[in-house]
Homo-oligomer: A and B are copies of this chain.
Amino acid sequence: MADGPTINTIAARAGVSIASVSRVLNGLPTRQETVRKVMAAADELGYVRNAVARSLKSRRTHQVAFAMADVGNPAYLAMLREIQPVLKAAGYRLVLHSTDAVAADEIDVLRSLGERYVDGLIMSPLRVTDAHLETLAAARAPVVIIGQVPEGTPVDNVRADSRTGVRLAIDHLHALGRRRIAMVNGPLDTVPGAARGAGYREALEAVGLPYDEDLVQIADFYRPEGRRAVAELLARRPDVDALMCANDLIALGALDVLRDAGRRVPEDVAVAGMDDTDLAAASWPSLTSVSLGSAERGRVAAELLLERLNGGEREPRRVTVPPRLVVRASTAGEGHGAEGSGAEGSGAEGSGA
């Protein structure tokens, strides 16, 4: 045992050269007799190819990195869940980085591509700075970016379309007869905040409703902030009949406040969220939400990367994944419970000692 068998051990035992062993293991044309001897020796010794030596020589690691901004964020998890099987099926291992949305960490990851421990990278930065672009240009391996990237950046890119997403939701609310549709948006200096705000204005115009500053309230993307913001909004405009929230957490906060205020959802006020996280299905009433296709973005990103890893040179591609409105009780007003909710086992546990 001591020090696992190598190609040399096998060669010695089978009475052939290491070249022959390598050929047999790689299925290159070899005499039957030799194949037999090598296979026998390998089996007896329990030989396993050393991936590191293989990578050094072949310049392929069969590993791909995914740098997610935040391991806790359901949107990134949805991506991960799709990326993983695509890579696995193609014979790649997944190296996971968490950058905590810190630009410096993201740039470190890009730079570390020079170490050549992976063949490629999928990255979803919160926002792309000039430093990012600079490092990207010098990246030593193919990269796919999930998110916004300036026009003309020569890199494969997969993006969502939250602007259209907001329009879907507003159209829906308008079709239900709502006419005083407020928006609880995230900070306007974030990329998603700006896009969603723009979507709101466009959508109102499209359905022929006036844009009213009074109906817009800014909150951070968290539940307590959502509560605060919706409370202010209600105080100022008690007459709202629908709330478009910039993400599901804000929407949950909205539900909290409406419940306390004795407003029925959706009868008095309809509520829509965004991101379609699993929280949307769990809440009461369950939450209508705009899916921005995190899962699909992950899958597409993985496929683009694989294509580039196999195919070689190619024009950089840009793919936009369309949003999808998932209607639930918080706007539709049907009973709850119809919907099957997700899967999720229990069993990561054990009994007592």
Contacts and interface: CB of A to CB of B under 8 A. Distances in A.
Given A114-B4, A255-B284, A341 B222 contact: yes
Contact of A194 (B247, B256, B351): B351
A73 interface: yes
Contacts of A48: 111-112, 114-115, 140
Contacts of A120: none
Given A341-B224, A348-B294, A56 B63 contact: no
Interface in A309-342: 318, 320, 336-337, 340-342
A162 to B, nearest CB: 5
A179 B48 CA distance: 60
A262 interface: no
Contact of A96 (B84, B140, B345): B84
Contact of A341 (B93, B124, B223): B223
Interface string A167-195: 00000000000000000001000111011
A350 B192 contact: yes
A276 to B, nearest CB: 11
A22 to B, nearest CB: 15
Nearest to A114: B48
Given A51-B117, A337-B256, A352-B199, A221 B93 contact: no
A54 to B, nearest CB: 8
A243 interface: no
A217 interface: no
A349 to B, nearest CB: 4
Contact of A278 (B71, B140, B279, B343): B279
A146 interface: yes
Contacts of A343: 72, 222
Interface residues of A, number: 103
B95 A88 contact: no
B249 A346 contact: yes
Contacts of A162: 349-352
Copies of this chain in the oligomer: 2
Query: Which of A69, A70, A84, A341 is packed against the most chain B CB atoms within 10 Å?
Result: A341
Contact of A350 (B191, B222, B352): B191
Contact of A69 (B221, B275, B348): B348
A81 B72 contact: yes
Contact of A320 (B53, B117, B352): B352
A40 interface: no
A227 interface: yes
A4 B114 CA distance: 8
A279 B281 CA distance: 9
B192 A347 contact: yes
A164 interface: yes
A278 B279 CA distance: 8
A205 B249 CA distance: 42
Interface string A47-76: 011111101100001010000011111111
A9 interface: no
Q: Which 8 residue pairs across A and B have the least CB separation, nearest first?
A: A195-B351, A48-B114, A247-B346, A163-B352, A75-B348, A284-B284, A51-B115, A148-B350
7 contacts: A48-B140, A84-B98, A126-B347, A186-B346, A223-B342, A249-B346, A278-B279
